[in-house]
Amino acid sequence: MTYKVVLLPGDGIGVEVTNAAVRVIKTVAESFNVSMEFNEQLIGGSSYEKYKNPLTDETLQACYDSDVVFLGAVGGPKWETLPHNLKPEAALLKLRKALGLYTNIRPAKIYNALIDASTLKKEVLEGTDFIVLRELTGGIYFGNPRGFDKDRGWNTMEYTREEVVRIAQMAFKLARMRRKKVTSVDKANVLDVSQFWRNIVHEVHKDFQDVELNDMYVDNCAMQIVRNPKQFDVLLTSNLFGDILSDIAGMITGSLGMLPSASIGNKYALYEPVHGSAPDIAGQGKANPIAAISSVAMMFNYSFQMQKAAEMIETAIEKVLVQGYRTADIISDGCKLVSTEQMAECVIENYHEIFNQQAIGVFTL
Ligand code: IPM
Ligand code: MG
């Protein structure tokens, strides 16, 4: 069995964290005797520089031919003034749409060793473990009409029944594997599209009566994530609300540099760290590769059905943090500052150790 992995490092620190991710993919694949074929392509600003196009047909075709896609990050100040359709971000949106990646899974889990890196109090955070399940190919990101002229700017927030049904089903299925609680986020007190979203989610819920469902307005939800994050299990959101709430969720865990994501459709899957391209620290070896490596764990879990491998990667990350290794974004007193590459190396060393222990039967999760 050979898996075809398309690598899209993109811009800024995307390149460094993708290198770290690839090293981990190779290590894990080798240990399980799975073969991986890598195909690296340009996307975003780096693609624009070469082809005046942030997403070429070649890159898109490579993704269509892939089993999985790994993306670093796109964007940067250099391309901010380009017209909308040439911006690096447009490439990512086009790719999500083209591959039909309507389910976006963003876990917000607290690593105990990092509890002090958060701006929130330890008591508030302890035991936090929820998922932002974000609809990724609809809503205001893609609605028409859109545009602006000299005097007016406009976008359209629209959802079809089918779009809400499929993401709501995902949320309930995911909740069934967890603590069986879905919080559906909307702004139904103001927006018609949100009232529609709420109605459909409740219709779908009829088939999942064993899962608890509650609705929450998005403004209240933003507040509740900071006030009492433990209350959440699966947060079901539209595209825009999920974008905002997942950044808040990421920050309570200490750093956006820790937050992985999986974007999944009926045929394709793309894994990417939630953080952006961080041009200010690009190329300096300062980026935290843990979000990228944790996205690799999600890849093994969801795309390759190798749950054991995924757990071992996650355990390796936890161990590295317990050992006190930190990149600059999560550094605190008494810890050891490491570069992006060194952090990847630490995870790999721990992975090997866990794998070997498991092979001789002493590994327990
Ligand atoms: C994210 C990012 C993207 C989004 C940008 C880069 C288009 O913020 O994945 O959260 O808004 O979806
Ligand atoms: Mg975002």
* Model pLDDT for residues 235-269, shown as the tens digit of each residue: 999 999 999 999 899 888 778 888 999 999 999 99
pTM of the prediction? 0.94
Q: 265 with 101: CB under 8 angstroms?
A: yes
Q: Is 16 in the pocket of ligand 1 (CB under 6 A)?
A: no
Superfamily name and number for 1-107+256-365: Isopropylmalate Dehydrogenase (3.40.718.10)
pLDDT score of 193 more than 60: yes
Q: What's the confidence (pLDDT) of residue 118? A: 84
Which segments of the chain are extended strands (E)?
Answer: 2-10, 35-40, 68-73, 103-109, 129-135, 147-148, 153-154, 181-186, 212-217, 234-237, 262-264, 269-271, 325-326, 336-337
The arithmetic mean of pLDDT across residues 159-181, rounded, is 98
Q: How far is the CA of 243 from the centre of ligand 2 (A)?
A: 4
The arithmetic mean of pLDDT across residues 114-120, rounded, is 86
Q: What's the confidence (pLDDT) of residue 106? A: 96
pLDDT tens digits for range 123-161: 999 999 999 999 999 999 999 999 999 999 999 999 999
pLDDT score of 365 more than 50: no
pLDDT score of 69 more than 60: yes
CATH number, domain 118-252: 3.40.718.10
The arithmetic mean of pLDDT across residues 179-195, rounded, is 98
pLDDT score of 363 more than 70: no
Q: Which atom of ligand 1 is nearest to the CA of 73?
A: 6
Say whether 118-252 and 1-107+256-365 share the same fold: yes
Q: What's the confidence (pLDDT) of residue 242? A: 97
Q: How far is the CA of 14 from the centre of ligand 2 (A)?
A: 15
Q: What's the confidence (pLDDT) of residue 119? A: 87
Q: 249 with 146: CB under 8 angstroms?
A: no
Q: How far is the CA of 87 from the centre of ligand 2 (A)?
A: 15
Residues bordering ligand 2, an ion, CB closer than 5 Å: 243
Tokens of 335: 């810890």
Domain ranges of the chain: 1-107+256-365, 118-252
pLDDT tens digits for range 28-45: 999 999 999 999 999 999
DSSP 8-state code for residue 65: T
The arithmetic mean of pLDDT across residues 317-344, rounded, is 95
What is the spatial distance between Cα 347 and Cα 26, in angstroms, rounded to a whole number?
A: 13
Residues assigned a catalytic role = 141, 187, 219, 243, 247
> Which residues are within 8 A (CB) of 304 and not within 5 positions of it... i.e. 6 or more apart?
3, 34, 68
- For residue 260, whether the previous peptide bond is cis, meaning omega lies within 30 degrees of 0, is no
